[in-house]
């Protein structure tokens, strides 16, 4: 019995991080609700793979999907409100934009910089 030498070797990833890099579930589309069931001016809460997420519309009507946990005190952003196309946390009034960036912290002095850890994870909507 002989083995052909021209058969390519198949290499499988042995590290879980290699597998995660090839398929990032955040870059895939998933139906979560019917568009007509989304509230017009309120956040919509849902979970995907046990991660709490929130959908809302910005001023242009574009759907925005962010992590549904405020980085300040872990309150649900979906319990908050939409103000000028930004989602506002009900707890302390932190506001977040389209990409999850924290745009406003009422308690922060006007000349202070918003810390990077105040940002949220965004997911394509």
What SS3 string covers the chain? CCCCCCCCCCCCCCCHHHHHHHCCHHHCCCCCCCHHHCCCCCCEEEEECCEEEEEEECCCCCEEEEECCCCCCCCCHHHCEEECCEEECCCCCCEECCCCCEEECCCCCCCCCCCHHHCCCEECC
Q: Is a pLDDT exceeding 80 seen at residue 21? A: no
Residue-averaged pLDDT of the chain: 87
The reported pTM is: 0.77
- Which pLDDT tens digit goes with each residue over 53-72? 999 999 999 999 999 999 99
| Superfamily of 37-123 according to CATH | Rieske [2Fe-2S] iron-sulphur domain (2.102.10.10)
The pLDDT assigned to 52 comes to 96
Most confident listed range (4-8, 18-22, 68-72): 68-72
The pLDDT assigned to 24 comes to 75
- Which pLDDT tens digit goes with each residue over 81-111? 999 999 999 999 999 999 999 999 999 998 9
Map out the domains of the chain as residue ranges: 37-123
């Amino acid at each position: 019995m002989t083995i052909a030498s021209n058969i390519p070797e198949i290499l499988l990833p042995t590290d879980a991080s290699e597998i995660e890099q090839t398929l990032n579930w955040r870059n895939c589309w998933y139906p979560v609700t019917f568009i007509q069931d989304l509230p017009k001016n309120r956040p919509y809460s849902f979970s995907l793979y046990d991660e709490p997420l929130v959908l809302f519309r910005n001023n242009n009507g574009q759907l925005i999907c962010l992590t549904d946990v405020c980085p300040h005190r872990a309150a649900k952003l979906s319990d908050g409100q939409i103000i000028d196309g930004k989602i506002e946390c009900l707890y302390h009034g932190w506001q977040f934009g389209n990409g999850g960036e924290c745009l406003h912290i009422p308690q922060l002095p006007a000349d202070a910089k918003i810390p990077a850890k105040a940002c949220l994870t965004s997911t394509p909507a």
